[in-house]
Amino acid sequence: MSDSEWQTHNPAGSRRVVVTKQLPGERWLQILTQADCEVAVCTSTQILSADEIRKAIGDRCAGVIGQLTEPWGEELFAALKAAGGKAYSNYAVGYNNVDVEVASKHGISVGNTPGVLTETTAEMAVALTFAAARRVAEADVFMRSGEYRGWLPKLFLGERLTGRIVGVVGAGRIGAAYARMMVEGLKMNLVYFDPFPNQALEEFIAAYSAFLQGRGEGPVTCRRADSVDEVLKTADVVSLHPALDETTHHLMNAERLSLMKENAILVNASRGPVVDEAALVEHCRRHPDFRVGLDVFEDEPEMKPGLAQLANIVMVPHIASATSWTREGMAILAASNVAAVLNGFAAWEENQGVEAFLGDDPPEAAPSIVNAQAVGMATYSG
């Protein structure tokens, strides 16, 4: 990668920070420059290799803001440590690409950007659900290609969602937000699986059900299933929101796909490897009324052979968090993590939320450090 594909801001800064992709907004850059950082930003749209990142780190680098697409393990953390680095922040809430144990071994704090993606990602899962149910992508292609010759009773028949059963696998922040949107918006009944009960979600749906009954309408229900399989067998729509680990890799395999209804809808806006993509291709070929909405893919940016040719799959290129507010918020949090570590600030407590960092008077703290205890960071006390 040539030097022309890197842009330097505040060259007089005493601390050098590498940012491996251009980020939206301006405030993130202000945060770093106010922390006396020289900021080197990669302007290329290509995914950087480990070797390219190592060369960018060079022999002087205090911190890095990197991406989910980059392999942050021994090679890069060793290079960052050797260059005087103390901080790395993933420009994402997930950090499956980061070996946190290796970073901790090198004394490098690892940040992420939670709390600003919740509703935005849930909204995309809802959008994919509607698009799949009502065959929006197919109809769009049909219309643009000039094939429409007039209204027909059976043209692009889809699925009505109101009053049916929505299933959620993984009822954390995003999964619960999706569930609330679908239940409150469409009066759907919820069945969810999560290792831990989501009491707040259950109470919300119980209160909404009481509200409906108070208006003379039928109730909605919420039930925590005993297994993923139970959700798949029961629900008309299933949205996946688990964390990715060894227990959820290929969670949706051929066997589990076969448990779902013939005309069910499967949505994945979590992590690509949660779904066995080859098995999904085969299932969708054999079950044309089965519909899918995908924001993420197993081998991004590649797709498994046959996926792109299936009309019953709606696909978008990993844009669930792609609203200006969210992506700028992520940039602010990532920069705040790095700047705070370099300034010697403490770590923000996870249960306090990160909204304070988006306001005009942010705390002098690192908003989200996943290995704060391992690297000996103090906890912010106000």
Q: Which residues are catalytic?
A: 271, 300, 318
Distance CA 176, CA 70 (A): 29
- 348 neighbors 113 (Cβ within 8 angstroms): no
- Contact at 8 Å (CB) between 267 and 125? yes
Element (H or E) spanning 327, and its range?
Answer: helix 324-342
Q: Name the residue type at position 33.
A: T
The pair of three-digit structure tokens given for residue 130, joined into one six-digit string: 């509607």
- Nearest Cα to Cα of residue 330 among 121, 178, 62: 121
For residue 111, give the nearest of 264, 330, 364 by alpha carbon: 330
The DSSP line for 330-365 is: HHHHHHHHHHHHHTTPEEPPGGG-SGGGGSSS--SE
Angle formed at CA 242 by CA 241 and CA 246, multiple of 5 degrees: 150
217-241 CB burial, b ≥16 within 10 A, e <16: eeebebebbeebebbbbbbbbbbbb
For residue 263, give the 3-state DSSP assignment. coil
Alpha carbons 199 and 318: distance in angstroms, whole number: 30
